[in-house]
């Protein structure tokens, strides 16, 4: 694993973690708000960067910031009365399109918030459950369960969808 010292030039932080942060923003807030979430996350990170403790885990720190931004965005969207979890039937400019992917995006979006976030932080950002628990609040066991439940739902739905494809 490539460990950066906290005082690496910020550019290196963006280069090393930009893709992962975009991935989790995409998974947690959906395609429409992913880019805004990414920008707000890195702007906040840049602002706070000089105060980051020496030896801190940069990726976990970024995911924590992204999580807060995602919650802000989700709340703002709820206030605007747009249902959370609806994914438009189109590809976003932030990802490479491919066959059979819309269903999975929709499935991820349909997961309960905690499960969706636990899946994103553990499976996409690669954070251990202890860190996922710290970010989400609650116990390590609860974080593990949320991720496992989320993945089980996705797995079931995915095998249904791909079987459907093959029948056609």
Partner 1 sequence: MTHPDVAELLARLYEPDPEALSKLRDSLVGAAAEAGVLDIAYRTVDSPVGTLLLAATDDGLIRVAFDREDHDAVLVSLAEKVSPRIMLAPARLDRAAGELDEYFAGTRRAFDLPLDFRLSSGFRRSVLAHLPEIGYGRTESYAQVATAAGSPRAVRAVGSACATNPLPLVVPCHRVVRSDGSFGGYRGGPEAKRLLLSLESGAPVA
Q: Does residue 10 interact with partner 1 by CB under 8 A? A: yes
Q: Is 154 in the site for partner 1 (CB under 8 A)?
A: yes
Q: How far is the CB of 105 from partner 1 (least distance, A)?
A: 7
Q: Given candidates 30, 42, 127, 133, which one binds partner 1 under the rule CB under 8 A?
A: 42
Q: What is the CA radius of gyration of the chain?
A: 17
- Using the rule CB under 8 A, which residue among 72, 75, 141, 155 binds partner 1? 155
For the bound state, the minimum distance from the C-beta of residue 81 to partner 1, rounded and expressed in Å, comes to 28
State how far the alpha carbon of 119 is from the alpha carbons of 35, 39, 66, 90, 128, in Å.
Answer: 20, 22, 14, 23, 11
- Asked if 121 and 63 count as a contact pair (C-beta separation under 8 A), the reply is yes
Closest approach of partner 1 to the CB of residue 50, in Å: 6
Binding part of the chain for partner 1, among 46-54, 64-72, 73-81, 138-146 by CB under 8 A, reads: 46-54
- CA 30, distance to chain mean position in Å, is 9
């Amino acid at each position: 694993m490539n460990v950066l010292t906290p005082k690496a030039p910020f550019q290196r932080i963006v280069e090393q973690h930009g893709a992962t942060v975009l991935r989790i923003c995409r998974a947690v807030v959906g395609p429409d708000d992913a880019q805004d979430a990414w920008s707000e996350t890195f702007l906040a990170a840049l602002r706070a960067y000089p105060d980051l403790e020496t030896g801190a885990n940069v990726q976990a720190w970024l995911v924590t910031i992204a999580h807060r931004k995602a919650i802000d965005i989700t709340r703002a969207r709820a206030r605007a009365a747009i249902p959370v979890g609806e994914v438009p039937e189109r590809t976003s400019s932030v990802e490479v399109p491919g066959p059979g992917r819309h269903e999975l995006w929709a499935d991820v979006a349909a997961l309960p918030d905690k499960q969706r976030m636990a899946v994103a932080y553990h499976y996409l950002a690669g954070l251990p459950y202890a860190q996922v628990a710290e970010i989400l609040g609650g116990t390590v066991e609860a974080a593990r369960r949320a991720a496992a439940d989320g993945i089980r739902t996705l797995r079931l739905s995915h095998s249904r969808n791909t079987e459907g494809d093959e029948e056609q």
